């Protein structure tokens, strides 16, 4: 039962991860005025952040004494840094409006500047996302013989959650709630996930599970 509960939490992590990605593509598409540039920027931030986060935080995962607490803190960090992306939107728009007259004749440089600044804003959240799998894997993998099966289980449900997040965000949530409210909904999911993880740390709960 405890295993099912942890896997379900990682499903939610996948859901919110792609929820953020779709929202950011929408936000930066409006800022860039070009969906192709926005998608390229968001995907670049995601891929590099996931890779660096997995590598860097994975090196320290064995040293954590309480992996559930570490996982909860990672998810809280993801929620907060993702919320900062939303809050930085108006500042980025003002900055790009200021830079446009200065770089209007140098379109390539202007796009590079927009890419770099937007990339930096998203990188903290994606870096923390990358660290979730190495940390949560310690909660399910108890023996080396379980490594492939348990990691596959986690990654599979996380991916299914990502598919669900992309589908519902793109087709329903943004249309029904708008970008800002959908972002706040994702933060609520992250916070609720964190609360459930601390709930799971309770010794009495562990016995029941």
List, for residues 143-187, the tens digit of each pLDDT value: 566 667 778 888 899 999 999 999 999 999 999 998 888 888 877
CATH of the domain at 87: 1.20.1250
173 within 8 A of 182, measured Cβ to Cβ:
yes
CA gap 174, 161 in Å, rounded? 17
Asked whether the predicted pLDDT for residue 209 surpasses 60, the reply is: no
Asked whether the predicted pLDDT for residue 122 surpasses 60, the reply is: yes
What is residue 109's three-state secondary structure? helix
> Stretch 112-121: mean pLDDT, rounded?
92
Structural domain tally of the chain? 1
Domain span at residue 35 reads 2-208
pTM of structure: 0.85
CA gap 97, 52 in Å, rounded? 32
Asked whether the predicted pLDDT for residue 195 surpasses 60, the reply is: no
> Stretch 4-30: mean pLDDT, rounded?
89
């Amino acid at each position: 039962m405890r295993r099912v509960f942890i896997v379900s939490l990682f499903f939610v992590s996948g859901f919110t991860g792609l929820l953020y990605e779709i929202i950011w593509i929408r936000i930066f598409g409006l800022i860039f005025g070009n969906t192709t540039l926005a998608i390229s920027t968001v995907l670049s931030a995601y891929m590099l952040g996931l890779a660096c986060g997995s590598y860097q935080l994975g090196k320290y995962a064995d040293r954590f004494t309480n992996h559930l607490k570490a996982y909860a803190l990672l998810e809280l960090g993801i929620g907060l840094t993702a919320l900062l992306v939303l809050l930085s939107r108006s500042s980025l728009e003002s900055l790009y409006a200021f830079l446009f007259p200065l770089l209007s004749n140098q379109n390539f440089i202007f796009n590079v500047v927009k890419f770099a600044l937007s990339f930096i804003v998203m990188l903290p959240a994606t870096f923390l996302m990358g660290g979730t799998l190495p940390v949560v894997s310690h909660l399910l993998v108890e023996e080396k013989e379980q490594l492939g099966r348990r990691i596959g289980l986690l990654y599979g449900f996380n991916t299914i959650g990502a598919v669900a997040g992309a589908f519902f965000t793109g087709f329903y949530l943004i249309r029904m709630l708008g970008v800002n409210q959908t972002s706040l909904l994702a933060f609520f999911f992250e916070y609720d996930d964190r609360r459930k993880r601390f709930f799971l740390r309770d010794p009495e709960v562990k016995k029941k599970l």
